[in-house]
Amino acid sequence: MKIFKDKHTLQKEILKNKGISFVPTMGGLHKGHISLIKKSKKSKLKTLVSIFVNPKQFNKKVDFRSYPRNTRRDIKQLKKLNIDYLYIPTYKDIYGFKPKNKVYLDKFSKKLCGKFRKGHFEGVLNVVNRFIEIIKPRYIFLGKKDYQQLYLIKKHIEKKKIKSKVIECKTIREDNGIACSSRNSNLNKKQKKVASYIFNYLTKLKKKIKKNYNLFNINIIKKDLINLGASKVDYLENYNIESFKKIKKPNKKFNLFFAYYINNTRLIDNI
C-alpha cells in the first residue's frame, strides 16, 4: 500500500494505470467501508481509498470537531486489506485549485437532509467533484445508507458527462440492525440499544404500511420514536426509490428515509 499526501505525487503514480476504483471516506473505518473496499478490489483495477474529513459539508463546527477520527487505526486496517493506494490530502491540496466542472446540484438536494443541514450537499458535491478531477476514477463505490447523497452524486456525474461510474453498494448493518456508521462510535451501549429499537420499529412499520398506507401517520410515528429514546426527529418520509417521488398509496418500491438524534449524535438511514 502506497500512501500519498499530495495530489501531484499521486497523479504521477496513478497515470500509468488503466483505471482506478475509488472509495472515498472520511475515515473512522467500519464494516460498511470494508465492504466497499472488498467490492472495489473485485473490479480488478487498482483500489484507491481516500481519508479526508471535509469541513465544507458540516453545517456545525461542533459536529466537525466531534467527528470520529483514528487515522492510525484506519491505516492498519487498510494495510490488512491490501489496498493499492491511500490518499490523505490536506485542505489546501483539495481546495487549492479551481475545478473544470461546476457542481450540478439537483433540486432533490433541498429535501430530507438538505432541509436540516444547510450547505451540506453543496459541500459534499464540491469535494467529490474535486476528487474526481484529481483521480479520474473509472469506478466510485458508494453505499446506499446515504441514499440521497448517492443520488445527487450520480446526477452530477450524469449532468456533467463525467466518465466515472458510480457503483451502488448495499447498506451494511451491525448485528443489532443499525446501519454501520462512523458516528456509531459516539454512542454508548444503552444508546446503541435505542438505535436498534428504532430500526426494528421502523422495519415492522414499513411492512404494515405496505398493506395499509393509512398507518403512515408522521406525528404518531415521531412520538413513538421519542418514546423509544430518540432525542429529536429531523424527518421521516417515504419515497419511491426509482423516481424519488413521494408515495401516496401502498407501493412495493418505496423506502422510509429518516434522520434522528440520540443526544448529540445524528443518525440517518433508509429501509
Burial class (CB in 10 A: 0-12, 13-18, 19+), 72: exposed
Reported as a single tens digit per residue, the pLDDT across 66-75 is 899 999 999 9
CA distance 12 to 250: 53
Q: Which of the residues 8, 30, 33, 156 is marked catalytic?
A: 33
Q: Taking the model in full, what pTM does it have? A: 0.94
CA-based max dimension of the chain? 58
CB 144 within 8 A of CB 190: no
Q: Which domains, from first to last, does the chain contain?
A: 2-169 (3.40.50.620), 182-270 (3.30.1300.10)
Among 12, 20, 13, smallest CA distance to 45 is for 20
- In a 3-state reduction of DSSP, which class is residue 239? strand
CA distance 108 to 165: 20
Per the listing, cell 486496517 goes with 77
Would you place residue 106 in the very low, low, confident or very high pLDDT band (cuts 50, 70, 90)?
very high
CA distance 48 to 1: 9
Reported as a single tens digit per residue, the pLDDT across 126-144 is 999 999 999 999 999 999 9
What residue type is 126 in one-letter code? N
CB 200 within 8 A of CB 174: no
Separation in Å, CA 10 to CA 14, 116, 153: 6, 36, 23
Would you place residue 211 in the very low, low, confident or very high pLDDT band (cuts 50, 70, 90)?
confident
In this predicted structure, what is the pLDDT of residue 191? 98
CA distance 229 to 75: 35
Separation in Å, CA 116 to CA 18, 58, 148, 197: 41, 11, 13, 24
Among 255, 160, 154, smallest CA distance to 206 is for 255
CA distance 35 to 81: 11
Between 97 and 18, the higher pLDDT residue: 97
In this predicted structure, what is the pLDDT of residue 248? 77
pLDDT of residue 41 exceeding 70, the answer is yes
Among 259, 266, 262, smallest CA distance to 115 is for 259
Reported as a single tens digit per residue, the pLDDT across 160-182 is 999 999 999 999 999 999 999 99
pLDDT of residue 249 exceeding 80, the answer is no
In this predicted structure, what is the pLDDT of residue 255? 92
Would you place residue 233 in the very low, low, confident or very high pLDDT band (cuts 50, 70, 90)?
very high
Residues in the chain: 271
Instruction: For residue 149, list its beta bridge partners.
Output: none
Separation in Å, CA 5 to CA 2, 129, 147, 170, 200: 10, 18, 29, 30, 42
33 is catalytic: yes
Among 24, 35, 25, smallest CA distance to 179 is for 35
